[in-house]
């Protein structure tokens, strides 16, 4: 009697699991079919294209993305584990995605940011995103930014002078990330040296 109950329970769980797994498999198959239409590296089983990035520093990973764009064009697919991504490198493609009011749903990769950033503009979607975007957009209107052009100009000249000094006479490489962060702080605070 107990054995038949156990087999019945296990069978029920397996059938329910199968029915919940089938839509996932159909969706994955459709995504795979669409991804095949795009150029991109041949993914390894389970890892996808992650092997291309193993052991790379963030700077080297950026260089790898540039090499992939040179090899496969401005738009290509990339699979990291089970996740497919479409990479856009042409400015008009990026503009289309960023200016779209339809493409505001975030990928699952944004979920880990939600705990840190809560439901801000970066991680929110749908109506919440539209509402917050409407609030913040006027701050970046051309008329508002126009009054800061003099500051932008002054701090950009300072930034370029700092780059020349950092480069020196030997044409040394300069950490642009650090220099740009400092320039952004100078613009925000309008610090003069």
Residue written as token pair 């289309």: 96
Q: Which two tokens stand for residue 29?
A: 């198959």
| pLDDT for the residue numbered 52 | 92
Neighbours of 65 (CB within 10 A): 16
With bands split at pLDDT 50, 70 and 90, how would you rate the model's confidence at 170? low
- pTM of structure: 0.55
| pLDDT for the residue numbered 76 | 93
pLDDT, tens digit (0-9, with 9 covering 90-100), for 15-70: 887 777 777 778 778 888 888 888 999 988 888 899 999 998 888 888 899 999 99
The arithmetic mean of pLDDT across residues 170-181, rounded, is 78
pLDDT, tens digit (0-9, with 9 covering 90-100), for 91-149: 898 888 777 777 667 777 677 667 767 777 777 777 887 888 888 888 777 788 888 88
More confident residue, 80 or 115: 80
| pLDDT for the residue numbered 192 | 53
More confident residue, 188 or 3: 188
Neighbours of 155 (CB within 10 A): 22
- Between CA 137 and CA 108, with CA 91 as vertex, the angle to 5 degrees is 70
Q: Cβ-count burial of 84 within 10 angstroms (0-12 exposed, 13-18 middle, 19+ buried)?
A: buried
Phi/psi for 173 (5° steps) reads -70, 145
More confident residue, 104 or 84: 84
- Between CA 46 and CA 52, with CA 50 as vertex, the angle to 5 degrees is 135
Rounded to whole angstroms, the Cα distance separating 101 from 60 reads 33
């Amino acid at each position: 009697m107990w054995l038949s109950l156990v087999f019945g329970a296990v069978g029920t769980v397996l059938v329910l699991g199968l029915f919940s797994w089938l839509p996932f498999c159909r969706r994955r198959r459709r995504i795979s079919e669409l991804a095949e239409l795009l150029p991109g590296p041949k993914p390894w089983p389970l890892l996808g294209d992650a092997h291309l990035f193993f052991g790379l520093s963030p700077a080297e990973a950026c260089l790898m993305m540039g090499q992939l764009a040179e090899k496969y064009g401005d738009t290509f697919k990339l699979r990291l584990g089970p996740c497919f991504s479409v990479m856009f490198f042409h400015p008009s493609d990026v503009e289309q995605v960023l200016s779209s009011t339809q493409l505001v749903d975030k990928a699952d990769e944004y979920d880990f940011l939600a705990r840190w950033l809560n439901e801000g503009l970066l991680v929110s979607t749908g109506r919440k995103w539209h509402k917050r975007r409407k609030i913040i957009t006027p701050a970046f209107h051309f008329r508002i930014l126009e009054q800061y052009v003099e500051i932008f100009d002054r701090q950009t000249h300072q930034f370029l002078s700092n780059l020349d000094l950092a480069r020196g006479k030997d044409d040394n490489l300069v950490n642009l990330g650090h220099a740009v962060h400092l320039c952004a702080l100078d613009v925000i605070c309008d610090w003069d040296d």
